[in-house]
């Protein structure tokens, strides 16, 4: 699992930053990626990443402010033009269906794939064999959601030294054992997966927040996450402005991370008043409270390692 930020800006793009969007790459597990928000210009930024738009599987929208949604119609159209034929699921608050369907209808856009738009309520919204995604309300000026992506436990590590001692040839046999399936060797011996496979690895957890004032809902959604993405629109000196406009400061984001007991915090959604060199100060403010904090950089991969729980 990797996170790629397509945009880390708030309100409008500037030379150094695009508006908000973050991709969760699931290439190794599913061969796809998921997108969280889609500000204007997102598809342009994707062209500078290894992610192929035709392999986008899901889009999660936190809220309907323009800096989070203006890129959706163009992205949906380009996915079709680039050969995307698999279904695409889009999740977000009420009003999302009208926004998308009106844009596609008025512009005469035809999609060559099934588009499933799901207007959500708090609670589990995706449950499959690999992941569960939960949504919860945040505290912004309009209805806004945060998302918690929980990976199911992964298979344990193969004991390759023992396999070599047992004379098991590397290759497909290893793959079968990794999947939990027993194998029979040419000499008739049965190798049981349970004997050569370590304990299951705990699934990784990523929490991605939309725009929000500090709220207990964000703490609950991020509880114990390996990685939290939280907005830090303003520095600590502008806490009053953040409260007025429904945002958080760098310090408040760090306080959420600390309260939730997460492993790592990535700050994003920076006001256009801050240039690239200014972000070090926001990062320092947050690190004074939660040391494992970084100001997210666009088009740089952030690996979600996961730790024993």
| Residue 48 labeled ligand binder | no
Q: Within this chain, do residues 210 and 298 fall inside the same structural domain, yes or no?
A: yes
| Residue 112 labeled ligand binder | no
DSSP 8-state symbol, 152: P
| Residue 63 labeled ligand binder | yes
- Helix or strand or coil: residue 124? strand
Q: Within this chain, do residues 109 and 133 fall inside the same structural domain, yes or no?
A: yes
Q: Within this chain, do residues 81 and 130 fall inside the same structural domain, yes or no?
A: yes
Per-residue pLDDT of the chain (309 residues; tens, 9 = 90+): 999 999 999 999 999 999 999 999 998 888 999 999 999 999 999 999 999 999 999 999 999 999 999 999 999 999 999 999 999 999 999 999 999 999 999 999 999 999 999 999 999 999 998 999 999 999 999 999 999 999 988 778 899 899 988 999 888 888 888 878 899 998 999 999 989 888 878 899 999 999 999 999 999 999 999 999 999 999 999 999 999 999 999 999 999 999 999 999 999 999 999 999 999 999 999 999 999 999 999 999 999 987 554
Short-list 124, 127, 119, CA closest to 64: 119
pLDDT score at 308: 53
Residue 118 bridge partners (DSSP)? 91
pLDDT score at 183: 92
Boundary residue ending a domain (196, 223, 248): 196
Q: Within this chain, do residues 142 and 187 fall inside the same structural domain, yes or no?
A: no
Alpha helices in the chain (DSSP H): 42-46, 66-69, 72-81, 96-106, 160-165, 172-178, 193-196, 216-222, 239-245, 250-260, 279-287
Q: Which residue is it, tokens 């700050």?
A: 267
* Domain presence at residue 309: no
Q: Within this chain, do residues 294 and 170 fall inside the same structural domain, yes or no?
A: no
Q: Within this chain, do residues 40 and 178 fall inside the same structural domain, yes or no?
A: no
Q: Which element (helix H / strand E) includes 56?
A: strand 56-60
Cβ-proximal residues to 258 (8 Å cutoff; 6+ apart), any chain:
289, 290
Burial class for 33, CB neighbours closer than 10 Å (0-12, 13-18, 19+): buried
Q: Within this chain, do residues 262 and 295 fall inside the same structural domain, yes or no?
A: yes
| Residue 195 labeled ligand binder | no
Q: Within this chain, do residues 123 and 267 fall inside the same structural domain, yes or no?
A: yes
* Domain presence at residue 294: yes
pLDDT score at 219: 97
Count of domains forming the chain: 2
Q: Within this chain, do residues 128 and 147 fall inside the same structural domain, yes or no?
A: yes
* Domain presence at residue 88: yes
pLDDT score at 10: 97
Q: Within this chain, do residues 126 and 241 fall inside the same structural domain, yes or no?
A: yes
Catalytic residues, by residue number, are 67
* Domain presence at residue 164: yes
Q: DSSP E strands: which ranges in 120-271?
A: 123-127, 131-137, 145-151, 183-184, 190-191, 205-208, 227-231, 265-268
| Residue 140 labeled ligand binder | yes
Please tell me whether the overall predicted TM-score, pTM, comes out greater than 0.85 for this model.
Answer: yes
Q: Within this chain, do residues 191 and 260 fall inside the same structural domain, yes or no?
A: no
| Residue 110 labeled ligand binder | no
Q: Within this chain, do residues 34 and 68 fall inside the same structural domain, yes or no?
A: yes
* Domain presence at residue 189: yes
Q: Which domain holds residue 209?
A: 2-154+201-303
């Amino acid at each position: 699992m990797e996170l790629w930020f397509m945009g880390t800006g708030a309100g409008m793009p500037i030379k150094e930053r695009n508006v908000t969007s973050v991709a969760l790459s699931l290439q190794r597990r599913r061969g796809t990626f998921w997108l969280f928000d889609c500000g204007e210009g997102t598809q342009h930024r994707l062209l500078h990443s290894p992610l192929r738009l035709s392999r986008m599987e899901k889009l999660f929208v936190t809220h309907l402010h323009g800096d989070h949604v203006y890129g959706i119609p163009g992205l949906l159209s380009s996915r079709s033009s680039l050969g995307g034929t698999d279904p695409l699921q889009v999740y977000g608050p009420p009003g999302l269906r009208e926004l998308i369907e009106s844009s596609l209808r008025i512009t005469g856009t035809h999609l060559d794939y099934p588009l499933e738009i799901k207007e959500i309520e708090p609670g589990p919204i995706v449950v499959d064999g690999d992941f569960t995604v939960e949504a919860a309300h945040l505290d912004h000026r309009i209805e806004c959601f945060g998302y918690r992506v929980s990976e199911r436990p992964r298979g344990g590590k193969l004991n390759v030294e023992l396999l070599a001692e047992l004379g098991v040839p590397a290759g497909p046999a290893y793959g079968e054992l990794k999947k939990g399936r027993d194998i029979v060797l040419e000499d008739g011996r049965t190798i049981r997966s349970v004997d050569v496979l370590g304990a299951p690895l705990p699934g990784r957890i990523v929490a991605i927040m939309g725009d929000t004032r500090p709220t207990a809902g964000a703490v609950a959604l991020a509880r114990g996450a390996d990685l939290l993405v939280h907005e830090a629109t303003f520095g600590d000196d502008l806490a009053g402005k953040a409260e007025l406009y429904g945002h958080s400061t760098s310090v408040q984001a760090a306080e959420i991370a600390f309260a939730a007991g997460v492993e790592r915090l990535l700050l994003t959604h920076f006001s256009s008043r801050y240039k690239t060199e200014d972000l070090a100060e926001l990062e320092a403010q947050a690190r004074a409270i939660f040391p494992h904090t970084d100001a997210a950089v666009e088009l740089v991969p952030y690996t979600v390692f996961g730790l024993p729980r």
